[in-house]
Amino acid sequence: MRYLPKSPTDRELMLREIGIRSVDELFAPIPAEYRLKRELDIAPSMAEADILDWFRQRAADTAASGYANFLGAGAYHHYRPVVIDTLISRGEFFTAYTPYQPEISQGTLQAIFEFQTMICELTGMEVANASMYDGSTAATEAVLMAARVTGRRSAVVARSVHPEYREVLASYAKNQGIPLAEVPFLENGRVNAAALEKAITDGTACVLIQSPNFFGTIEDVAAVAEIAHRKGALLVVAIAEAVSLGIVKPPTEADIVAMEAQSFGVPLSFGGPYAGVIATKEKFVRQMPGRLVGQTVDKQGRRGFVLTLSTREQHIRREKATSNICTNQALIALMATVFMTVYGREGLKELATQNLAKTAYAVEQFGKTAKVLFQGAPRFNEFVVQTSKDPKTLNGRMLKQKIIGGLPLKKFYPELGNASLWCCTELTRRVAIEAAATALSPQKAKPQVVSTEVAQ
Amino acid sequence: MAYPADLKYTKEHEWIKVEGDTGIIGITDHAQKALGDIVFVELPKPGATLTQGKSLGTVESVKAVSDIYAPASGTVTEVNQELNTAPEKVNADPHGAWMLKVKLSNPGEVKNLLSAADYEKFVAEEDGH
Amino acid sequence: MNRKIKKATTHVIQNEGLIFEKSSPGKKGYKLPELDVPEVNPSQVLGNAARADLGNMPEVSEIEIIRHFTRISTWNYGVDTGLYPLGSCTMKYNPRINEIVARLDGLANAHPYQPEKVSQGALLILQALRKALMEICGMEAITLQPAAGAHGELTGILLVRAYLQSQGNPRKKILIPDSAHGTNPATAAIAGYEVENLKSNAHGMVDIPSLEAQMNEDVAALMVTNPNTVGLFEQEIHKVAEIVHRKGGLVYMDGANMNALVGKVRPGDFGIDVMHLNLHKTFSTPHGGGGPGSGPVACKKIMEPFLPIPVVVTKKDGTLGFDYDRPQSIGRVRAFYGNFGMHVRALAYIMANGRDGLVQTTEDAVLNANYIRKKLDGVYELPYSTPSMHEVVFSDHKQTAKGIKTGDIAKRLIDYGFHPYTVSFPMIVHGALMIEPTESESLEEMDLFIDAMKNIAEECENTPEVVLSAPHTTRIGRLDETRAARQPILRWKPQAQSAKGD
């Protein structure tokens, strides 16, 4: 076995040193009746070349770069600068553990400190944690955190929050005795503020909205914050599309921001691993879950970084901890840190503006052949289209043109009829937008295969 | 450090000083030593009710957190705000750095607490284990 | 230089400030493609939702980015550097083929919502991994959705709750041995259960009489780690399971230490009802400085109806797809399907090892731990005489006479060129040194480690001050953690820097 650095002689020698004859003696503590008396039903060891070949075939059976992809909905197709993989592949980063021993973990610790700083800069919050599992669990943990901060035990959730985020929240809230009230959206796609105000009671710990919301619409965060705060509730803002922060005003009026950082250079990877983040005001930091890196000094006054405020965490506080979360997503957070560094202060703005331009163009084109819903409020890089035919049928047709159409919404929002959610990023090409708009037309147009090659 | 004779002590390592119907509460020298450098003290707000033997807050060092148990029942009248910004005062002067002032609801409760001498004996026994 | 330090020597290391300190306006590390649609004016499109500027985000060039992260990376220690004996964390080798296959275009760039018809390869990977993990655990159902071990624990306990609820009563309490990981009690609390502590016996195992006394109809489940956190196999696990089952409870196994059992014994065969696996421990996915993890949960048939949605199924036409129509499901614990990238890596690892390699891996992991145990027995105190599996726990009892604690020995180990072991855990061993070499260590590397540990024990006797003030060879010394917690500085700010990096 090529991963095992021992010769048969080494093993013999070690057994002799231990004072036993065979390795079986080491397994004597396991009662014989329970031991597996056969081989595992798993194929024998494979050669590297065969493994690569097997996965190449699986990859070939899965659509990716060869298609023009209009899916967003919480997972976004952005360009990943090549330096990301170069840097995260350094063994010192990717084969290290949680930085419990700061003297030999300063690389990881400093990178996390930089991550926390960049998240604060982008969200307008004062503190950010070292990352969590993903956006859905971050939003959930943010709601639980609001309950701890306020001592209140219910939450109000906008229906325009990602449906799967809401499902995750429901699984957690049910067992914590936190009832959830859902608030509908308006015709412009924004949360219904009047209904929201009515839904908030003296027991409401927080209001959870998403901005840009699931439909791509940017919420009026300040107005919602005003309503929530007036009733003594906190405002939690979820952000699923992090690139929006390059051009959309940060939700500074929020008390907690729960973010998905996938857009920042993390591969789509069929849904994970991604990285969630919670950012908040300094005064709430002791109720915030997840790891935190802080700056300090050694005896000679040299700057260094350590994990800090860890008494909030499970390994110390056990059943009284702020969360049961143990790992963060350090390597994914590092991808995001490199991405944010590559684009930086000007690039993130330019990148977000390109997304805005592609989407504005797509909305205009799609408007010619179908109905674009939720007009009248600003949107970032997603929009909802209503068609006369079932979007699944239309998408099936487009697949032949190497186009992956928008996400059919019937499963999540039956009230929207034949609606689908479309996303355009800097990678979406004009020809693909035009081809997709044509394909949505009720008049049957001649299907054209979209080339994903860059135009010469 | 000697344990002042005018204080009463709990087996959970809190002290209380009774002045009329007011109790002043803190943690003992033994407690601060066991915890090490204290970095944060979490206390209830004025108006909160305490029940003898029940947790009223926590005291944290870098790698440990410990509940503070109420030595007597009553209503919190004052909280030592200084500890918010300077928790190290508990390490420097544990029997002087008070945490709460309480209007006692049942001053008789204090009788079942330990005297300085008994507490000292209790701590010595605990360390022996 | 101390001649006794064989593995390491000092070497010039680059200093490096924070990325923000290298920033200056106008530097760029990116170039976007030409826009092929009409330009837009953000303030026109967004109105007052448009953002003015991005504050202190850095502006640097590509070469500076490469150097910045390369330099700070050299301040880290990884499995690629050497033995990383962090007990309970299983710091084994991370095979490079895993990284290559996870980055293949069809896998790395597949969108979770793309039609199943064009996702058959990804679905087959999920299916193949599920099958292999069920076989390894001796279980009949599995979900790959949980993003980490603790997340798996929560999922598992929610399955327990849903199952018991379907039987009429979710019950109130979870029993947890005092040797457990902190995640266990935290998880039980998040799942809405009270936690009741169960003490260990003189052998470091579940105390059967205590379990008999504490087990009743209020107890939903026992959460047990096996081998436990002291590295010992719960020899009476079948009796433990029987006691819990007799009162209608379920047994949850924290699979953090499954690397001691793969191919030798299956939890499903010794009475476990539900368990999680840590793919980043047993199945070699990288720890990455603290994540991502992946915590699949395997269980018996009785809990299958409650698995999180969606579940991968073979459809009538023979293709694979997701089943969302599961009315008894506990719901979702994460968006999409879990950490797919980690699933790819774990499957590649299982394929590279095969049934033969998996068993040899388990044997080598246990052999290595016992070799270290034998060589250091007497040098450090062994609190339990019970045989060890994949890790060994010593205590600092012999060294405390000189005022030296496990944390000090750990810091001195850094000077000898090793990452420290796990310090002060499990809590039932006072002053614990928890050592897990894993199967990835050669005899030579382990002998160097043993040698270092023996030298440090001598230093504790003869020159304790050297140990107490370690490490001496790192870029920075022991850091002031009290200061970090009392006056938290959790982000960089312009100017307000009190101490400048050197």
Q: What is the predicted pLDDT for the residue at A454?
A: 47
Residue in B closest to A309 by C-alpha: B62
Neighbours of C269 (CB within 10 A): 15
**Chain segment A89-148, per-residue pLDDT in tens:** 999 999 999 999 999 999 999 999 999 999 999 999 999 999 999 999 999 999 999 999
Q: Give the strand pairing for A276-280 and A127-128.
A: antiparallel
Neighbours of C260 (CB within 10 A): 27
Q: What is the predicted pLDDT for the residue at A260?
A: 98
A443 touches C: beta carbon within 8 Å: no
Place of tokens 């448009």: C50
Run of H or E residues at A258: strand A256-260
The single-letter DSSP state of residue C307 is S
Which residues have a Cβ under 8 Å from the Cβ of B55 and sit 6 or more positions away? B67, B68, B69, B70
Nearest CA-CA partner of B108 in B72, B76, B68: B72
Q: What is the predicted pLDDT for the residue at A312?
A: 81
Strands (E), B1-129: 8-9, 14-19, 22-27, 38-42, 49-50, 55-61, 65-69, 74-79, 100-104
CA C206, CA C224: separation in Å to the nearest integer? 9
In the predicted model, what is the mean pLDDT of chain A? 95
Split at pLDDT 50, 70, 90, the class of B129 is: low
Q: What is the predicted pLDDT for the residue at C499?
A: 46
Degrees, nearest 5: CA angle A65-A67-A69: 95
Whats the size of chain C, residue-wise?
A: 502
Count CA atoms closer than 13 A to B120's CA, side-chain side. 9
Q: What is the mean pLDDT of residues B3-26?
A: 95
Is pLDDT above 80 for C501? no
Split at pLDDT 50, 70, 90, the class of C441 is: very high
Domain spans, chain A: 68-79+344-440, 83-338
Q: What is the predicted pLDDT for the residue at A311?
A: 82
Q: Which chains have 3+ CB pairs within 8 A of A?
A: B, C
CA A200, CA A227: separation in Å to the nearest integer? 9
List beta partners, residue B34: none
Share of chain A above pLDDT 90, in %: 91
Q: What is the mean pLDDT of residues C397-416?
A: 96
Cβ distance C482 to B39 less than 8 Å, yes or no, reads: yes
Residues on chain B touching A316 (C-beta within 8 angstroms):
63-65
What distance in Å separates residue C179's CA from the closest CA in chain B?
17
Is pLDDT above 80 for A6? yes
Chain C stretch 464-483, residues whose beta carbon is closer than 8 A to a beta carbon of chain B: 481-482
**Chain segment A241-257, per-residue pLDDT in tens:** 999 999 999 999 999 99
What distance in Å separates residue B41's CA from the closest CA in chain A?
11
Among A48-52, A60-64, A409-413, C219-223, name the one with the lowest average pLDDT.
Answer: A60-64
- What is the residue-wise DSSP string for C34-96? PP-S----HHHHHGGGB----TT-----HHHHHHHHHHHHTTB--TTTS---BTTT------H
Which residues have a Cβ under 8 Å from the Cβ of B129 and sit 6 or more positions away? none
Q: What is the predicted pLDDT for the residue at C1?
A: 52
Which residues have a Cβ under 8 Å from the Cβ of C432 and sit 6 or more positions away? C393, C394, C395, C396, C406, C422, C423, C424, C425, C426
First-residue to last-residue Cα distance in chain B: 21
In the predicted model, what is the mean pLDDT of chain B? 92
**Chain segment B18-36, per-residue pLDDT in tens:** 999 999 999 999 999 989 9
pTM for the full predicted model? 0.95
C423, C427, C430, C486: best to mutate for the B interface, most B CBs within 10 A:
C486
Q: What is the mean pLDDT of residues C411-415?
A: 97
Q: What is the mean pLDDT of residues A193-220?
A: 98
Whats the size of chain A, residue-wise?
A: 456
The single-letter DSSP state of residue A271 is G
Cβ distance B63 to A310 less than 8 Å, yes or no, reads: yes
Among A135-139, B1-5, C170-174, C243-247, name the one with the lowest average pLDDT.
Answer: B1-5
Residue in B closest to C488 by C-alpha: B39
Neighbours of C169 (CB within 10 A): 12
Is pLDDT above 80 for A455? no
Q: What is the predicted pLDDT for the residue at A444?
A: 60
Q: Which of A308-312, C225-229, C450-454 has the highest mean predicted lDDT (pLDDT)?
A: C450-454
**Distances in Å between the alpha carbon of A408 and those of A167, A404, A412, A455?**
18, 11, 9, 30
Cα B27 from chain centre: 3
**Torsions phi, psi for C190 (to 5 deg):** -65, -30
Residue C292 near residue C342 (C-beta atoms within 8 A): yes
B63 touches A: beta carbon within 8 Å: yes
Split at pLDDT 50, 70, 90, the class of A446 is: low
- What is the residue-wise DSSP string for A364-431? HHHHHHSEEP--SS-BSSEEEEE-SS-HHHHHHHHHTTTEE-PEE-TTT-GGG-SEEEEE--TT--HH
Residue A87 three-state SS: helix
A90 touches C: beta carbon within 8 Å: yes
Nearest CA-CA partner of A154 in A220, A238, A232: A232
Is pLDDT above 80 for C282? yes
Is pLDDT above 50 for A440? yes
Q: Which residue has the higher pLDDT, C180 or C263?
A: C263
Q: Which residue has the higher pLDDT, A273 or A454?
A: A273
CATH architecture classification, C98-350: 3-Layer(aba) Sandwich (3.40)
Structure tokens at C428: 């039932």
Q: Which domains does chain B have, with CATH numbers?
A: 8-123 (2.40.50.100)
CA C253, CA A187: separation in Å to the nearest integer? 50
Is pLDDT above 90 for C466? yes
Residues on chain C touching B39 (C-beta within 8 angstroms):
482, 485-486
The CATH number given to A83-338 is 3.40.640.10
Cα C52 from chain centre: 41
What distance in Å separates residue A59's CA from the closest CA in chain C?
4
Count CA atoms closer than 13 A to A307's CA, side-chain side. 24
Residues on chain A touching C174 (C-beta within 8 angstroms):
none
Q: What is the predicted pLDDT for the residue at C427?
A: 86
Q: What is the predicted pLDDT for the residue at C496?
A: 55
Q: What is the mean pLDDT of residues C310-331?
A: 97
**Chain segment B52-77, per-residue pLDDT in tens:** 999 999 999 887 888 999 999 999 99
Which residues have a Cβ under 8 Å from the Cβ of A377 and sit 6 or more positions away? A188, A189, A190, A217, A218, A220
CA C149, CA B40: separation in Å to the nearest integer? 30
Q: What is the predicted pLDDT for the residue at C3?
A: 78
Cβ distance B63 to A317 less than 8 Å, yes or no, reads: no
C485 touches B: beta carbon within 8 Å: yes
Nearest CA-CA partner of A101 in C290, C228, C11: C290
Q: What is the mean pLDDT of residues B88-114?
A: 94
Cβ distance B40 to A286 less than 8 Å, yes or no, reads: yes
Which residues have a Cβ under 8 Å from the Cβ of C267 and sit 6 or more positions away? C137, C138, C139, C226, C253, C255, C258, C261, C275
Q: What is the predicted pLDDT for the residue at A456?
A: 37
CA A211, CA A241: separation in Å to the nearest integer? 9
Between A27, A60, A308, which is nearest C484 by CB?
A308
Q: What is the mean pLDDT of residues C372-378?
A: 98
Cα C130 from chain centre: 20
Cα C7 from chain centre: 27
Q: Which CATH class is domain A68-79+344-440?
A: alpha beta
- What is the residue-wise DSSP string for A125-150? -SEE-S-BS-HHHHHHHHHHHHHHHH
Which residues have a Cβ under 8 Å from the Cβ of B2 and sit 6 or more positions away? B116
Neighbours of A5 (CB within 10 A): 16
A222 touches C: beta carbon within 8 Å: no
In the predicted model, what is the mean pLDDT of chain C? 95
Neighbours of A202 (CB within 10 A): 9
CA C236, CA C240: separation in Å to the nearest integer? 6
Split at pLDDT 50, 70, 90, the class of A316 is: confident
Q: Which residue has the higher pLDDT, A448 or C362?
A: C362
First-residue to last-residue Cα distance in chain C: 24
Q: Give the strand pairing for B14-19 and B8-9.
A: antiparallel
Chain A stretch 279-308, residues whose beta carbon is closer than 8 A to a beta carbon of chain B: 286
Domain spans, chain C: 98-350
**Torsions phi, psi for A349 (to 5 deg):** -70, -45
Place of tokens 């029942």: B73
Place of tokens 């790192």: C474
**Chain segment A260-273, per-residue pLDDT in tens:** 999 999 999 999 99
The single-letter DSSP state of residue A214 is T
Is pLDDT above 80 for A61? yes
Residue in B closest to C483 by C-alpha: B39
Q: What is the mean pLDDT of residues A426-453?
A: 82
Q: What is the predicted pLDDT for the residue at A5?
A: 98
